[in-house]
A and B are shown apart, each in its own frame.
Chain A
Amino acid sequence: MNCRGVIAELSSYFDDALDPQVAADLERHLQGCKKCRVIVDTTRKTIEIYCNAEPVPLPEEVRQRLHTVLRVRLGMKAN
């Protein structure tokens, strides 16, 4: 596998969706290619950082309006 092959298979590699033989080829390439190792590592880090990021705060006034709408439209009690 060459560098372009690694990039093409990158998402499937992260998602554990690669044929084991292809995954082994990819990892063999990584061992000898520092550039691809950096790309794999930083792309994985990108996903992890987003995945671990705190949800944006829900502004209290937005939350209040949501519950007001639900209360009025659905007859819910205040929460």
Chain B
Amino acid sequence: MPALLDPAPNQNSCIASHPRASNVTVVATVKAFDVNAPNAKPAASLIARDDESALVSAAKAGDVSAFTELVTRYERKIYRLTLNITQNREDAEDAMQDAFLKSYQHLDGFEGGSRFYTWLVRIAVNEALMKLRKRRPNQFSLDEPVTTDEESFPREIQDWGPSPEQKFARVELNEILNGAVTELDPAYRVAFLLRDVEELSTEETAKMLGISVPAVKSRLLRARLKLRQKLNPYFRSTTS
């Protein structure tokens, strides 16, 4: 039976975790700690500090090392985000640096009503969008691109099998995924990145981009369908 008849579209998947934090996020965080903190403090200290709000409180009170730990925890994800938005390594690095600097400078303004990471993402998205607009002032717009329903409607309809991504080595897969995202119109790309990669809620995404919730939904649908279409040549089953 095709996987799509599995009657649990909202369970046991990334989709299931929207808009809540997912296991993927936790795994990425742990990896960032392991990989990027060769001089990290002993385990007991790590455990004591392994709480975002405690780190934020300490940083607010002037503990610079607590903020450094927050940076270490999120630098990979923030770099991925700024690189995905700007599609330019230099701009991505500048946006990341500015995002961390601004987040530290405005830490007092962080009320704690949302996760620190979500707040940080908002700053990073703004910085990345500024870079994008500066580099491509006449090309980039967050306004709704003109797309007809006919363009959005799926054309190639072939099954992919259960684990199409396993047909490719990780490096190759990343190239395929990045290539498809890069080709998206920026307005679609940013909505998709915030919603499906950063796993923000539709409401958070709308607030961050200054657009309506229906506009986010519309862009997200089109982005998802366009990406499906772009990935189809790589992932379709040869036997179907």
Overall SS of chain A's interface:
helix
- Contact between B159 and A41 (Cβ–Cβ < 8 Å)? yes
Q: Knowing that A12-B217, A47-B15, A51-B199 touch, tell me 16 more A-B residue pairs with CB under 8 angstroms.
A: A11-B220, A14-B10, A14-B224, A27-B7, A40-B4, A42-B159, A43-B228, A45-B235, A49-B164, A51-B196, A56-B174, A63-B75, A66-B97, A66-B100, A70-B104, A79-B69
Cβ of A21 < 8 Å from any Cβ of B? no
Which B residue's beta carbon lies closest to that of A73?
Answer: B101
Q: Mask for B143-158, Cβ within 8 A of A = 1, else 0?
A: 0000001001110011
Report chain A residues within 8 Å CB of B77: 55
**Interface Cβ pair total, 8 Å cutoff:** 169
Overall SS of chain B's interface:
helix
Report chain A residues within 8 Å CB of B15: 14-15, 44, 47-48, 51
Separation in Å of the B219 CB from the closest CB of chain A?
Answer: 10
Q: Which of B47-55, B60-68, B122-130 forms part of the interface with chain A?
A: B60-68
Contact with A74, one of B64, B69, B177, B197 (Cβ below 8 angstroms) = B64
Report chain B residues within 8 Å CB of A53: 173-174, 177, 197
Interface residues in B1-50 by Cβ distance below 8 A to A read: 2-5, 7, 9-10, 13-15, 18, 22, 24, 28, 36-37, 39
Cβ of B71 < 8 Å from any Cβ of A? yes
Q: Mask for B199-226, Cβ within 8 A of A = 1, else 0?
A: 1001000000000000001001100110
The answer for the CA separation of A70 and B76 in the assembled complex, in Å, is 16
